[in-house]
Structure 1
Amino acid sequence: NAAVSSSNHKKIWELTGNELQQILQTNIIGPFLCSKEVIQWAKKNRHHIRIINVSSGIVDKGAPYLGAYTISKMGLEGLTISVANDAIDDRLISIVSIKPRSVRTYMTKSFFPKKEYLAMDYPDVLAPVFLYAATAQRNEILGKSLDEPCFSADPGAAITMENKLPLIQPLKMQTPVYRSEYRDKGGAYMHFLQNPFGFCPSVVEVLSKVVNNPSVHQYPDPNYTQLREAISAYLNVDPSDISFGTGSSELIDRAIRIFASKRGNIIITKPTWAHVVWPSCIKYDFLPIEVPYTGSVKRKNIKHDLQGILDAINDWTKLVYLVNPCNPTGSIVEKEELRSFLRQIPSHVTVLIDEAYIEFCEPEKRLNLALEYKEVNCRLIGLRTFSKFFALSGFRVGYAYGNPDTINYLERLSLTFNISSMSQLAALTALKDKAFQEKVYKHNFSERKRICEELDQMDIPNMPSQTNFIVFDCPMDREKMRLEMMKEGIFMPNIDAALGGNLTATAVGLYEHNQKILNLLSKY
């Protein structure tokens, strides 16, 4: 490890040939010559050796004013892989590289501002990964590039996994279990924001008739033909413009893998629906840029900062993720404002608009993305689910729609038989049941309006919503409120962490459940 960077504060094209050559001589040619000598010695003397190259996390993304250093460390990674490939059958030789975090050294002191330098750890924090690299079995480390921050977080995972996966823990959502005694109390499970009626009776009827049909026990239609045609008619798009996933979550993850990149950036709003977006970004080593909302609940004007998103877009931007209507605020972008925003997005950017709650929205406020993706320069994808409005979350059916080229890219990582026969049939049946859809929409519209009006009468600040939940400034302890309602068998959503302050949300349930919540709040 030479620990040599380059002349500070110079762009790559400002370096002289001698300056670049000096760095390459030290950081690549030096390790090459050392490796060559020690390998020849080992082969002559039949002695086992291990070479540990000290690389850098800079190889993943680069950094301004460190072009020569970046080139040299990328070359060092190439040297490590090349030696490993040529030594695969020669068990005397093993080689590994380590990408350490920045620590306090003469090099970092000369480059980083004093405040950043003093925030760094001392070099001894790197000892465990070097000890492992020096003592591990050859077949565990040959040609491997050990990411030191990942190793420090979870050594076993860092040895087994690639990229930033060791930094990800399994997502374990803590949700209350709804038991039959709560139902007997007249309770409701409102935590996951589905329509309060559950899925439509026609789905129950159809599934009960086919459950013993041999066809549903076979592999499902991999092209989702009937469901694809039904959604095509529902959205007025071509069948080839649709891609299916096991819930919209899988499609979000897929879109991030396909359209983002390590050296690019992803723009999301703050807050956003984070259960999928953040874990996906971390495991693929992407760092999102967050653009905060504008407005407040008190002024009833929380909304996406579309100009802020446009200002954040640059040549590195690969993906913009926008939830509309928004989770967790319930707000929606006005049609003309959204249309204007989409027309300003450059062609190298993919825009993913998550419309999970769109069926709860007033029709005149919905922008028909099917008409927009043919008119904009960017790759525009609409994303929908059968989990919320249709209450089919247990069947895991989501779909994306966009122009054929974009959907073709999205399809390249889809799994065969992604959606079961029963799930396809349930979604198809729910889509055809217009009477039930009208019932759900009208109930949600009237109850949402009533709840907001009663909150206003109680002087409880609340946010106008185009979803099936309402954000408000809770006049009591939020957790106490949920516990009190749980005694009544009513499980309320908990999105407090995303909202901040004393803001919380209630789902729009049946009249009697909504009234119990309002009665409790009226006491404060």
Structure 2
Amino acid sequence: MKWNSQILNLNAYQPGKSIEEVKRAYNLEHIYKLASNENPYGYSNKVKKVVDEEGSSTFSYYPDGYATDLRGELSKFLGIEPTKLIFTNGADELLHIIAKALLASGKNTVMATPTFSQYKHNSLLEGAEVREVPLIDGEHDLNGILDRIDHQTAIVWICSPNNPTGIYISDANLQEFLNQVPKDVLVVLDEAYFDYVCADDYYDALSLVNKYSNLIVVRTFSKIYGLASFRIGYGVASEEIIKALEPVRQPFNTNVLAQKAALAALKDQEFVTRCRNLNREELERFYQFCDQHSLKYYPSQTNFILIDFQCDGDEVFSFLLSKGYIVRSGKQLGAPTCVRISVGTREQNEGVMKAMEAFLNHTSAIK
């Protein structure tokens, strides 16, 4: 086969272990998945109603490729023109579309490390040079990123709050950075977790889109809205950027149920607020646990926390897995001595904290 050379050394994305897989492996009755940053409170009852009603509908017709109803409602909700939106099969597809539209052999792209793995993966697929700038104590080194930009740079990827550290960029720092990025370099601002942010000095990304013509904001309904299985995300940018990206998008990339579910979810902002508040309360409990046990952690503006156990992250991962808790080893995320834990319900969090305490007691006993 005449495979493109750039794919030969790439690995497929490795999702977290499934609940059924762990049940079989460890012969456990109850498994709690805290690995993929999903909403433990599910989704709005308004979404459930739509799904139940649509279950009897015909699915023999193609979906609305323009997502007209969702586009109209979301544009009103965000206070922007409908022509500044693009809808995709999860935010992941939008990241892929952006890479495909701008990157190629001979071009380069700049990003932090560690950050969301698909930026690098998609860039390598297109044959571009990847320039990675290490985080500084979990934060983007914005000056370091600026230093790596040159005339062949096509995209800069910024994840705020960052995955896997959960740390955000302040409004002042982000605007200072954007003011220095060349206007022919697209800045991709991935805001998958912005609905969880409570920081007072967080920026207003939509106003920045109006101010910076080389900025696109990427968001998703997968996280706080709880629609991960529906796969629907969106981007906000100038009409010129959206117009350039649209031909790269597949014609019917978002399905009927996803569009209707997102529309219903958008109309229940009380659910969103409740989830944000519950998440913040539970994050504070994780902070207290870490402080009590002298564990380093990164203060998070997301629905996950990255904890440094100062040992092999796979070891912590395996121990917690044996207790019925699926988390994410930091070795897969560029933080080899850490684990990333999604914030669950009060009951789930209490359970995983007890399991972590058991691990700490186990390791101290061995020493």
Does 1:171 find its partner at 2:9?
no
Write the deviation string for residues 473-492 of structure 1: whole angstroms up to 9, x where unpaired: 11665334333333443211
Paired position in structure 2 for 1:325: 161
1:293 to 118, 122, 135: 135
Q: Give the CA RMSD over aligned residues.
A: 2.2
User: Contact conserved, 1:168 with 1:279, CA < 8 A, in 2?
Assistant: no
- Over the matched positions of the two proteins, sequence identity in percent amounts to 27
What is the alpha-carbon distance in structure 1 between the residues aligned to residue 7 and residue 39 of structure 2? 37
**How far 1:204 sits from its partner (Å)?**
1.6
Q: Which runs of 5+ in 2 are unaligned?
A: 361-367
Paired position in structure 1 for 2:98: 255
Letter in 2 for 1:248: A
1:234-273 matches, cutoff 5 A: 234-273=77-116
Say which SS state the counterpart of residue 253 (structure 2) adopts: coil
Paired position in structure 2 for 1:281: 123
1:228 to 68, 71, 83: 71
User: Contact conserved, 2:316 with 2:329, CA < 8 A, in 1?
Assistant: no
TM-score (norm 2): 0.90
Does 1:345 find its partner at 2:188?
no
User: Contact conserved, 2:314 with 2:331, CA < 8 A, in 1?
Assistant: no
User: Contact conserved, 2:329 with 2:336, CA < 8 A, in 1?
Assistant: no
- Pair 1:342–1:453, CA change in 2 (3 A): same
User: Contact conserved, 1:164 with 1:283, CA < 8 A, in 2?
Assistant: no
**How far 1:186 sits from its partner (Å)?**
5.0
Letter in 1 for 2:49: E
What is the alpha-carbon distance in structure 2 between the residues aligned to residue 506 and residue 288 of structure 1? 28
What is the alpha-carbon distance in structure 2 between the residues aligned to residue 293 and residue 483 of structure 1? 27
What is the alpha-carbon distance in structure 1 between the residues aligned to residue 269 and residue 199 of structure 2? 15
Does 1:461 find its partner at 2:304?
no
What is the alpha-carbon distance in structure 2 between the residues aligned to residue 168 and residue 237 of structure 1? 42
**How far 1:165 sits from its partner (Å)?**
4.7
Say which SS state the counterpart of residue 437 (structure 1) adopts: helix
What is the alpha-carbon distance in structure 2 between the residues aligned to residue 380 and residue 349 of structure 1? 9
User: Contact conserved, 2:196 with 2:224, CA < 8 A, in 1?
Assistant: yes
User: Contact conserved, 1:448 with 1:470, CA < 8 A, in 2?
Assistant: yes
Between 1 and 2, higher relative CO (CA 8 Å, sep ≥ 6) is seen in: 2
**How far 1:202 sits from its partner (Å)?**
2.1
**How far 1:451 sits from its partner (Å)?**
0.7
**How far 1:281 sits from its partner (Å)?**
1.8
1:344-493 matches, cutoff 5 A: 344-362=180-198, 364-376=200-212, 378-474=213-309, 478-493=313-328
- Pair 1:192–1:225, CA change in 2 (3 A): same
Say which SS state the counterpart of residue 309 (structure 1) adopts: helix
Say which SS state the counterpart of residue 179 (structure 1) adopts: helix
User: Contact conserved, 2:19 with 2:31, CA < 8 A, in 1?
Assistant: no
**How far 1:239 sits from its partner (Å)?**
0.6
Say which SS state the counterpart of residue 224 (structure 2) adopts: coil
User: Contact conserved, 1:324 with 1:358, CA < 8 A, in 2?
Assistant: yes
- Pair 1:179–1:255, CA change in 2 (3 A): same
> Mean alpha-carbon deviation: is it higher for 170-179 or for 218-227?
170-179
TM-score (norm 1): 0.64
User: Contact conserved, 1:185 with 1:488, CA < 8 A, in 2?
Assistant: no
User: Contact conserved, 1:187 with 1:513, CA < 8 A, in 2?
Assistant: no
**How far 1:364 sits from its partner (Å)?**
2.9
User: Contact conserved, 1:167 with 1:283, CA < 8 A, in 2?
Assistant: no
Paired position in structure 1 for 2:46: 202
Say which SS state the counterpart of residue 364 (structure 1) adopts: coil
**How far 1:497 sits from its partner (Å)?**
3.1
Say which SS state the counterpart of residue 156 (structure 2) adopts: strand
User: Contact conserved, 1:473 with 1:502, CA < 8 A, in 2?
Assistant: yes
Write the deviation string for residues 81-102 of structure 1: whole angstroms up to 9, x where unpaired: xxxxxxxxxxxxxxxxxxxxxx
Paired position in structure 1 for 2:365: none
